[in-house]
Amino acid sequence: MAQAHRAIVSAERFAPNQAGPPVRVLLYSLRRLQGAPPLVLRIHGGGFTRFSADSFSATDVAIARMGAMVVSVDYRLAPMHPFPAAPEDCYAALCWAYDALEIDRSRVVVTGSSAGGALAAAVSLLARDRSGPRITHQLLHVPALDDRLSTFSMQQHRRSNNGLTFEDVAEMWHVYLPPGTDRRRTSRYAAPARTKALAGLPATFIQVNELDPLRDEGLCFAQRLLRAGVPVEVYCAPGLGHGAVPGDSPVAALAQRIFDAAMLRALTERPPDARPTPGVASRGSRQAGVPAG
């Protein structure tokens, strides 16, 4: 690709949001595009409490250079804005982008890392349950999916020296979930591993890291998606902890290339026609408030 064609244009917009104030989003795309690009809704990580849409612009630019329209969401952060603020903001951004931008609606991807992976999965659930925009792929990178902290890897790496500990994850869920939350009935839109019915979710790529306490919740989620008939690809990066970045090691660099390849396939492959979703009824307006369950 010629260098001129790799130039990125960016813009700031504010998406209407029935569940709160307008949501700030950052848009990235190639300066020169032929036809309507696929849409990538990208949701940053940070334990639900840190960072912003500006924090990982290099990642957004890299995805945009694959030919996508990238919408990076500046969702409200806990503890000032606990659940359901963040998933509502992300879903509002998706609905706005789907309706307002000139994009290819047959290729819509949501992606996020760590807490952003939880929010990306929540957006897929909301879109399914509210009969909202059709998401064709979700790419979840070392996602935090389960507030119960009961997996083998959570105990195995309880005192991990690889960037994340049991105590870190416990504190994350403590500040994200509203005070008084009945943890026996945590909403599936907060902790997507709580979802009982997974049929009808988009084709999924999940990366987990071997030494990450979150590893097994990603693997368990992938298995359950497969049993529900959802196409799934899983990659476990050997020897990596939660916070590994491509420059850390050859394995981390390989993991990034595998994730990038999965993203490129999501952006270029034409998905099959949507299949009916058994047992999932519309919950009114696609911008309605988050149900309790």
**CA–CA gap between residue 67 and residue 71 (Å, rounded):** 13
CB 156 within 8 A of CB 127: no
**CA–CA gap between residue 164 and residue 161 (Å, rounded):** 7
Backbone angles phi, psi at 63, to 5 degrees: -70, -40
Residues with a known catalytic role: 114, 212, 242
CB 233 within 8 A of CB 218: no
CB 109 within 8 A of CB 135: yes
Cβ-Cβ contacts under 8 Å for 80 (sequence gap 6 or more): none
Bridge-partner residues for 104, per DSSP?
Answer: 38
CB 26 within 8 A of CB 11: yes
Sheet holding 104-113, edge to edge: 8-15, 23-30, 69-74, 38-43, 104-113, 137-141, 203-209, 232-237
Bridge-partner residues for 113, per DSSP?
Answer: 141
Cα R_g (the chain), whole angstroms: 18
